[in-house]
Amino acid sequence: MIPREGKLLRIFIGESDHYHGRPAHEQILELARREGLAGATVLRGLAGFGRSSRIHTAKILRLSEDLPIVIEIVDAAEKIDALLPKLEPLIGGGLMTLERAEVIVYRAKGDGPQT
């Protein structure tokens, strides 16, 4: 269970970011699962730019090999805080943000009310 007051960790990296020869977003997802966090989602962006101000886009005429990736992880504050130092080596370049999250529903299919 996640307490009603949790934290949302959001990690912004690029699709081409790797750690030990594997995509960084896969490594982050697997780390969160191993550490027993409630859940994580990897989102692939259509376009974006970061500190370098270079625009990465998925336009057909200008295919990018480094589209933005956002990983969102929600759990209890203590679990997120314990994960942060383990993430540091996986983030070569990017941005991490942290904010409070009010958890309204957290259940697997079949666990809740059926309609």
Question: Which spans in 1-115 are helix H?
Answer: 24-34, 77-87
Q: pLDDT digit string (tens) for 48-79?
A: 877 777 776 666 555 556 789 999 999 999 99
Residue 28 CA to residue 112 CA, distance in Å, equals: 29
Q: Where are the domains of the chain?
A: 5-97
pLDDT of residue 49: 77
Long-range contacts of 21-30 (CB under 8 A, 24+ apart): 24/69, 24/90, 24/91, 24/92, 25/69, 25/71, 27/90, 28/71, 28/87, 28/90, 29/71
pLDDT of residue 92: 87
CB atoms within 10 A of CB 34: 9
pTM of the model: 0.84
Residue 20 CA to chain centroid, in angstroms? 19
Average pLDDT over residues 29-55: 88
- Options 3.30.70.120, 3.30.200.20, 3.40.367.20, 3.30.390.50; which CATH number does 5-97 get? 3.30.70.120
